Structure 1
Amino acid sequence: MAPKIWPLERGHIVTSPFGPRSGGFHWGVDFGWPGGSSNRPVFATQGGYVTRSGPASGFGRWVVVDHPAADGGGTTVYGHVIPEVPVGRRVEAGERIASIDPDPRTNGNVAPHLHLEWHRSVWAPPGPDRLDPLPILAGAAYPIAERRPVLSG
């Protein structure tokens, strides 16, 4: 079975789940970080190929990854981010692909966060082909924290 990885490092929280909410239905899960999410790294949940990277209506900017069957299948959408990978690039599960956009104007003037969608096969408009990411990620590993250089003084 292909590995699955949480899109944020250990310690993240769900700020808005998949499902009904005031004003309609939320077709993804929003993740944040206690104390603020600006510029936090975002990681690929499975291996696959980047099909969209850049400006997106309603997301500010996004990264979309198509996952071949060998990688677990489906398509994931990472919204309200600053993309760090180009279209056509192969990414692996747990690879850094973006950072959370610190500009609240790109996400409906709410605190910076990651919006994650899981699509059954290819990108699909809102409806039954969009799946709740939380059950899919149950038991997933956390990404390995980025190593930062140790500065000596």
Structure 2
Amino acid sequence: MRSKRRILGAVLGGLCLLGAMGGVWFHGILQRYRAAVEALRVQDVDLATVPDGAYVGSQDAVLVAAEVRVTVADGAIRRIEILRHENGRGKPAEAVLDRVIAAQSLRVDAVSGATSSSKVLLKAVENALRGAREGL
């Protein structure tokens, strides 16, 4: 009976240790994610300088990542397609892209409750438009 208790104690102790190690690991990822989102600075792009075409841009912020295809014609954003959006609970942020098209600007409000995903999507659009201007 004593040996079963020792074994059970050792197993439970090992599980607690693994749980603590996992918590430390996840905390590190969470810190990197927060820092990556905080560092994102979305800047508007002069659409008059973007040639007509479809351009792909992406952005990765550890726990949230996005890839979009932006179609530009006659100096205006005509369409934004989401090619990839790893977002946790940030799917509502995808509505920010409709705001971009309506405003023809990246200076739009983030979706409440999905601010990080909104910023990542906006930065992916910016990266697509900047890549288009630079001929990438």
Q: TM-score, normalised by structure 2?
A: 0.29
Higher strand share: 1
Higher helix share: 2
Larger gyration radius, structure 1 or structure 2: 2
